[in-house]
């Protein structure tokens, strides 16, 4: 454990709004501005990226709620954005007519508040009211206000909840399930609601009827009501940690009936079905399987599943969506998508299956909308690293009609670029896939390369069209690499679980193996190889810096998690102990001490230059992680730049202007340090 120390002289930087901490942030921001933003080319790069983010011909993705398609839209004229809706007939046009429901810019101006849109829950099945969530400057905590869709206005004396990490959902026109901060004891140690209450219109939220309570040590409690005609049911539950939960059917008399599946499985009811996704073996079915049961039969004790998907060594479940009569199944084979349609058999008979659509190799396809109440309509988005998104609209049944609704234009010059997939051998021999997007290096020789990874929380990095990276990196001669390391979900639960807790170094070994393989293949050299990641990916970057500094010419970490001895005491950190371990548990403390990049920093190693970015308003990963690491790196004499945006929450940016600025900082930094040497 070379260089590991428990010393923490910079804990004062965890005080978000202290005068001393903010003064330190201002000084670091000024240094970064002088080093990156004041130089030639920064303004034009930022403007080019802003054009991508604000482009009026982007695909406006929608969700169907009854007769309308809803969309939230931001551009240069709508910095904070507008919530709007249209009909499918209008949406088919190149320039649809949109009905603007809520202008967040106008609201922010009228209330002198930096509101950021955080979503809305439209009441089903009437679609006449919504519970709108608004965040102050991008944090996870929101205020909730009831909104009248017909009148396009907030409901005076309607449902309103003060700022908190609130969970709220409709039961009927005059009742909601509510979990929020009711004062001491009402929130878990992770900062999420511990109680679920049934709140009736016109009554104070504090007088709402309690229906469920989780433990203080749980992550959160929740309640939900299914309004599907003929299948009206209420459920409550608790998340004990990130991967274990309990779900209960709430009987009319208030009794709770446990949905008796393994606590690491996810389960939900859909009409007459109970759908279960496994993280561990159960009923003879392996982890990663998707199972279906008759809901009533399951409650009566029948444990005979219809197996909808079984993984293999190279194929994993990516997701699934319901239409009125079918289930669309998305799977990944070596991180490329396959799409099937599954149809329940009549009277409980076997399910039928068939392909839905052909997906190009090394591409991603995802269902972005369905209409499970009424029809077998679906919206399917297909894209790739060099393939701008195409949005299809289709109906399952008969001839399976499908047509192109929208197609995004290219945003960068892809001439001479290719997409290839390779596999690196990790330290223990595991085969780790990664994508390389760039020129043919057999002709061009090694060049500047940016390696991106995440490696945690079952998150899969699938092919996507990144127009910002395209303009800022690819069309200027760079190569972009996406590493599908363990800790993600690319090969199912076992791929994730291999890097849990004390196994986390497996993710780091995978990423380092990809970095070394890029050099072996002649794609790049260590001096021209950069590494970049955010949040848990920022922890990955901290590991690269402290464990494998010789592999990289520069490292960028966004909103990073870096102090693994105090993460559980900062904001939402307590909810991640199932992923990393608990520093208060003597059994976990040794591996967390060794994992902690902040505590591994030392003066006697040569680190590549580092850029750390965060947000004062990030109420998920505390900005103290990045602040303290930057301060320690400075103290030890290493090259580090630090940028803290005052707003933006965990995304680091609350609008396109901030996002373009952050991206321009990163790419300017990377080009400064990874550009090839002069001949």
List, as one string, the DSSP characters of 658-678: HHHHHHHHHHHHHHHHHSPPP
Task: Quote the pLDDT of residue 196.
Answer: 97
Q: What is the mean pLDDT of residues 154-162?
A: 96
| Per-residue CA distances from 336 to 288, 378, 484, 485 (Å) | 17, 20, 12, 15
Task: Quote the pLDDT of residue 3.
Answer: 58
pLDDT exceeds cutoff 80 at 391: yes
Residue closest to 630 by CA, chosen among 622, 621, 640, 643: 640
| Catalytically annotated residue among 133, 650, 661, 673 | 650
pLDDT exceeds cutoff 80 at 119: yes
| Per-residue CA distances from 168 to 154, 175, 433, 507 (Å) | 17, 10, 40, 36
Residue 73 three-state SS: strand
Q: Is 535 among the residues known to form the active site?
A: yes
Q: What is the DSSP letter of 651?
A: G
Could you report the per-residue pLDDT of 605-625, keeping only the tens digit for each?
999 999 999 999 999 999 999
Could you report the per-residue pLDDT of 72-106, keeping only the tens digit for each?
999 999 999 999 999 999 999 999 999 999 999 99
Contact predicate 556/476, CB 8 Å: no
Could you report the per-residue pLDDT of 336-371, keeping only the tens digit for each?
999 999 999 887 788 999 998 788 888 899 999 999
Structure tokens that stand for 27 in this block: 């000084």
Task: Quote the pLDDT of residue 679.
Answer: 61
Residue closest to 70 by CA, chosen among 46, 98, 111: 98
Contact predicate 236/223, CB 8 Å: yes
Q: Which residues contact 256 (CB under 8 A, 6 or more apart)?
A: 212, 236, 248, 249, 250
Pairing of strands 129-136, 115-122: antiparallel
List, as one string, the DSSP characters of 329-385: EEEEETTEEEEEEEEPPGGG-PPEEEEEE---TTEEEEEEEE-TTT--EEEEEEEET
- Residue 308: how many other CB atoms lie within 10 Å: 21
| Catalytically annotated residue among 220, 289, 336, 535 | 535
Q: What is the mean pLDDT of residues 280-301?
A: 97
Task: Quote the pLDDT of residue 347.
Answer: 76
Q: Give the model's confidence band at 513: pLDDT under 50 very low, under 70 low, under 90 confident, else very high.
A: very high
Q: What is the mean pLDDT of the chain?
A: 95
Please tell me the total number of residues recorded for the chain in this structure: 679
Pairing of strands 610-615, 554-558: parallel
pLDDT exceeds cutoff 70 at 535: yes
Distance of CA 436 to the CA centre of its chain: 22
Phi, psi of 473 (to 5 degrees): -130, -55
pLDDT exceeds cutoff 60 at 2: no
Q: How far apart are CA 493 and CA 64, in angstroms?
A: 31
Contact predicate 452/529, CB 8 Å: no
Report the sign of the C-alpha dihedral through residues 545, 548, 553, 558, in that order. Answer: negative
Could you report the per-residue pLDDT of 167-203, keeping only the tens digit for each?
999 999 999 999 999 999 999 999 999 999 999 999 9
SS (H, E, C) 78-122: EEEEEEEEECHHHHCCCCCCCEEEEEHHHHHHHHCCCEEEEEEEE
Q: Give the model's confidence band at 60: pLDDT under 50 very low, under 70 low, under 90 confident, else very high.
A: very high
Q: Percentage of residues in the chain with pLDDT exceeding 90?
A: 92
Q: How far apart are CA 150 and CA 167, in angstroms?
A: 24
Phi, psi of 32 (to 5 degrees): -65, -40
The position carrying tokens 């849109």 is: 117
Task: Quote the pLDDT of residue 359.
Answer: 84
Rounded to two decimals, the pTM is 0.95
What's the chain's Rg over C-alpha atoms? 25
pLDDT exceeds cutoff 80 at 677: no
pLDDT exceeds cutoff 90 at 592: yes
In DSSP terms, 534 is beta-bridged to 558
Domain residues of the chain, as ranges? 260-310, 320-409
Could you report the per-residue pLDDT of 238-280, keeping only the tens digit for each?
999 999 999 999 998 889 999 999 999 999 999 999 999 999 9
In DSSP terms, 557 is beta-bridged to 533, 612
Task: Quote the pLDDT of residue 5.
Answer: 74
pLDDT exceeds cutoff 50 at 559: yes
Could you report the per-residue pLDDT of 639-666, keeping only the tens digit for each?
999 999 988 888 878 789 999 999 999 9
Task: Quote the pLDDT of residue 1.
Answer: 39
Q: Give the model's confidence band at 377: pLDDT under 50 very low, under 70 low, under 90 confident, else very high.
A: very high
Contact predicate 487/504, CB 8 Å: yes
Task: Quote the pLDDT of residue 348.
Answer: 73
């Amino acid at each position: 454990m070379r260089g590991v120390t428990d010393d923490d002289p910079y804990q004062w930087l965890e005080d978000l709004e202290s005068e001393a901490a903010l003064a330190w942030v201002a000084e670091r921001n000024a240094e970064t501005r002088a080093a990156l933003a004041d130089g030639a080319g920064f303004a034009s790069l930022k403007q080019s990226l802003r054009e991508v983010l604000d482009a009026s011909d982007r695909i406006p993705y929608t969700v169907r709620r009854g007769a309308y398609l809803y969309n939230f839209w931001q551009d240069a004229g709508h910095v904070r954005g507008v919530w709007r809706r249209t009909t499918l007939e209008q949406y088919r046009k190149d320039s649809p007519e949109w009905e603007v429901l809520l202008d967040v810019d106008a609201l922010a101006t009228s209330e002198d508040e930096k509101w950021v849109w955080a979503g809305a829950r439209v009441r089903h099945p009437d679609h006449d009211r919504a519970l709108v969530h608004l965040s102050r400057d991008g944090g996870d905590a929101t205020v909730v206000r009831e909104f009248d869709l017909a009148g396009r206005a907030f409901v005076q004396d309607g449902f309103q909840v003060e700022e908190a990490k609130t969970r709220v959902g409709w039961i009927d026109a005059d009742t909601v399930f509510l979990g929020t901060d009711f004062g001491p004891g009402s929130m878990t140690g992770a900062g999420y609601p511990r109680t679920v209450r049934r709140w009736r219109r016109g009554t104070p939220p504090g007088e709402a009827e309690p229906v469920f309570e989780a433990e203080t040590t749980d992550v959160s409690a929740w309640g939900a009501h299914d309004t599907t005609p003929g299948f009206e049911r209420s459920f409550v539950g608790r998340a004990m940690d990130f991967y274990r939960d309990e779900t209960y059917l709430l009987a009319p008399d208030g009794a709770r009936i446990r949905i008796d599946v393994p606590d690491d499985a996810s389960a939900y009811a859909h009409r007459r079905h109970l759908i279960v996704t496994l993280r561990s073996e159960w009923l003879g079915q392996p982890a990663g399987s998707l199972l279906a049961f008759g809901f009533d039969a399951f409650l009566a004790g029948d444990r005979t599943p219809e197996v909808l998907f079984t993984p293999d060594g190279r194929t994993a479940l990516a997701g699934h969506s319901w239409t009125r009569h079918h289930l669309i199944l998305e799977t990944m084979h070596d991180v490329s998508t396959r799409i099937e349609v599954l149809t329940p058999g009549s009277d409980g008979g076997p399910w039928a299956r068939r392909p839905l659509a052909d997906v190009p190799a090394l591409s991603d396809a995802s269902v972005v909308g369905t209409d499970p109440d009424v029809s077998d309509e679906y919206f399917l988005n297909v894209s790739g690293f060099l393939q701008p998104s195409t949005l299809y609209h289709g109906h399952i049944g008969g001839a399976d009609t499908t047509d192109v609704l929208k197609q995004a234009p290219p945003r960068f010059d892809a001439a001479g670029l290719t997409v290839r997939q390779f596999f690196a051998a990790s330290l223990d021999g595991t085969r780790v896939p990664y994508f390389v997007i760039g020129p043919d290096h057999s002709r061009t020789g090694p060049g500047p390369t940016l390696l991106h990874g995440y490696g945690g929380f079952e998150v899969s990095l699938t092919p996507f069209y990144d127009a910002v990276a395209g303009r800022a990196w690819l069309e200027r001669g760079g190569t972009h690499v996406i590493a599908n390391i363990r800790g993600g979900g690319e090969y199912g639960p076992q791929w994730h679980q291999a890097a849990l807790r004390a196994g986390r170094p497996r993710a780091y070994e995978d990423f380092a193996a990809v970095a070394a393989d890029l050099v072996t293949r002649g794609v790049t050299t260590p001096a021209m190889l950069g590494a970049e990641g955010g949040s848990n990916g920022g922890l990955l970057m901290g590991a690269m810096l402290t464990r494998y500094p010789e592999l990289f010419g520069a490292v960028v970490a966004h909103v990073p998690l870096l102090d693994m001895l105090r993460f559980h005491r900062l904001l939402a950190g307590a909810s991640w102990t199932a992923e990393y371990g608990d520093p208060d548990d003597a059994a976990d403390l040794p591996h967390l001490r060794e994992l902690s990049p902040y505590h591994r920093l030392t003066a006697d190693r040569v680190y590549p230059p580092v850029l750390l970015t965060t947000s004062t308003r990030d109420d998920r990963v505390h900005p103290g992680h990045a602040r303290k690491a930057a301060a320690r790196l400075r103290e030890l004499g290493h090259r580090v730049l630090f940028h803290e945006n005052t707003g933006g929450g965990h995304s680091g940016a609350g609008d396109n202007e901030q996002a373009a600025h952050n991206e321009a900082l990163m790419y300017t930094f990377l080009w400064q340090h990874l550009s090839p040497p002069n001949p």
